[in-house]
């Protein structure tokens, strides 16, 4: 991608991972120009990209990826597409899955169709480790069968396989990244790390699902963004790449680590009924992406500490939006997550 300027369409760039990706890419590659297409749903927030408002290689367009006319206009002149726009919260998908299939599945179809029509040089779909489902032992490889278990992960799996099918069937230069649980600054405070940190800072209870022994792989957002760029530049057409660190942590351990960093008591933990269908363990083998030269640079304990302290020092960002999550959390608690 060096040399002549290339315009890249990033979808969902006002979200958590997308905003970090855009900032990293513009900083590290002077030949990249970015158009960010985002409809600004409840979790989209352009203030994450405030620093770029006057950046000469950055443009923001408010629009829905499900709208073929907007997608056609926005993709015009783009050499590549990195597609992150999604409904991303599993709990919400349990209450109402419809918008998940509209955005995550049908929206991806609209983008792929336009990419095929215009003949973009590269299309990268940002998928998730949740497509594999749970695994008691061992690590999933990219060639393993997919067994998604929630409306969210099924909507992502359909899109993941659709992107790969466009490489196989139409020759589109498509690749897929399957990322682990991502954490870092500017994550919407309904996700576990910012939810627990912000609750603890306000001396509110931390609702821990079931026995808390669910295992997750944790990837820092800058490592995830770097992995996406690596696969965009070097990934092989029609292939998927797992994006995983070496850090596997149970939810209960994560909760204790957060409380310890903040000097808050374990009595803030409130056990609630487990999420219906909660996958027990996600685990992926990352040797394929390592062959492209990617390695996670962040060590979990230090990166978690830095992240927790960022939320402590940037209350102004999350306090403004935290209230918006309250209605959903209360409603969800009535449906599923009662105290036990
Ligand atoms: N956060 C994680 O732990 C994680 C892990 C692996 C993969 N992923 C995937 O990475 C991507 C980004 O995740 P995130 O955590 O940054 O999500 P996020 O919820 O923070 O951001 C999603 C963005 O997409 C936008 N969006 C939603 N629907 C849209 C539509 N119809 N048209 C245009 N824009 C729309 C939102 O406004 C928001 O800015 C998602 O595809 C997600 O499935 C996330």
Per-residue pLDDT, 1: 43
Please tell me the distance from the alpha carbon of residue 204 to that of residue 80, in angstroms, as a whole number: 44
Percent of the chain with pLDDT over 70: 99
For residue 66, give the ligand 1 atom closest to its CA.
31
Percent of the chain with pLDDT over 90: 93
Average pLDDT over residues 162-169: 98
Superfamily of domain 6-180+221-243: NAD(P)-binding Rossmann-like Domain (3.40.50.720)
* Angle, CA of 52, 54 and 60, to the nearest 5°: 65
Please tell me the distance from the alpha carbon of residue 264 to that of residue 201, in angstroms, as a whole number: 8
Q: Is the dihedral of CA 159, 29, 237, 221 positive or negative?
A: negative
CA 240 vs CA 109, 157, 286: distances in Å: 18, 12, 11
Query: Does 152 participate in catalysis according to the annotation?
Result: yes
**Nearest residue by C-alpha to atom 32 in ligand 1:** 64
* pLDDT tens-place string over residues 42-74: 999 999 999 999 999 999 999 999 999 999 999
For residue 102, give the ligand 1 atom closest to its CA.
31
Asked if pLDDT for residue 118 goes beyond 70, the answer is: yes
Asked if pLDDT for residue 120 goes beyond 60, the answer is: yes
Domain chopping of the chain, boundaries: 6-180+221-243, 183-216+247-281+298-330
Asked if pLDDT for residue 27 goes beyond 90, the answer is: yes
Per-residue pLDDT, 3: 61
* pLDDT tens-place string over residues 9-25: 999 999 999 999 999 99
Pairing of strands 269-272, 240-243: unpaired
CATH architecture of 183-216+247-281+298-330: Alpha-Beta Complex (3.90)
């Amino acid at each position: 991608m060096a040399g002549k300027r290339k315009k890249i369409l990033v979808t969902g760039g006002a979200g958590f991972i997308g905003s970090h990706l855009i900032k990293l890419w513009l900083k590290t590659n002077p030949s990249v120009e970015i158009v960010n297409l985002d409809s600004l749903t409840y979790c989209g927030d352009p203030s994450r990209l405030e620093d770029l408002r006057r950046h000469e290689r950055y443009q923001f367009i408010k629009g829905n990826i499900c709208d073929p006319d907007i997608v056609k206009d926005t993709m015009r002149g783009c050499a590549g597409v990195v597609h992150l726009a999604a409904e991303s919260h599993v709990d919400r998908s349990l209450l109402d899955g419809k918008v998940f299939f509209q955005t995550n599945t049908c929206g991806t179809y609209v983008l792929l169709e336009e990419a095929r029509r215009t003949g973009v040089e590269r299309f990268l779909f940002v998928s998730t480790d949740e497509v594999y489902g749970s695994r008691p032992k061992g690590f999933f490889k990219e060639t393993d069968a997919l067994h998604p278990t929630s409306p969210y992960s099924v909507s992502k799996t359909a899109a993941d396989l659709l992107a790969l099918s466009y490489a196989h069937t139409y020759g589109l230069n498509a690749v897929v990244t399957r990322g682990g649980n991502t954490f870092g600054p500017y994550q919407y405070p309904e996700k576990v790390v910012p939810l627990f940190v912000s609750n603890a800072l306000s001396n509110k209870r931390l609702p821990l699902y079931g026995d808390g022994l669910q295992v997750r792989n944790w990837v820092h957002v800058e490592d995830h963004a770097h992995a996406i760029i690596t696969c965009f530049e070097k990934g092989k057409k029609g292939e998927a790449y797992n994006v995983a660190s070496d850090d596997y942590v149970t939810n209960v351990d994560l909760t204790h680590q957060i409380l310890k960093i903040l000097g808050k008591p374990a009595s803030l933990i409130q056990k609630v009924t487990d999420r219906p269908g909660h996958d027990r363990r996600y685990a992926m083998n990352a040797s394929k992406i390592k062959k492209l030269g990617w390695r996670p640079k962040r060590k979990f304990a230090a990166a978690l500490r830095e992240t927790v302290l960022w939320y402590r020092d940037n209350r102004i960002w999350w306090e403004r939006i935290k209230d918006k999550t309250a209605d959903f959390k209360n409603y969800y608690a009535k449906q599923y997550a009662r105290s036990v």
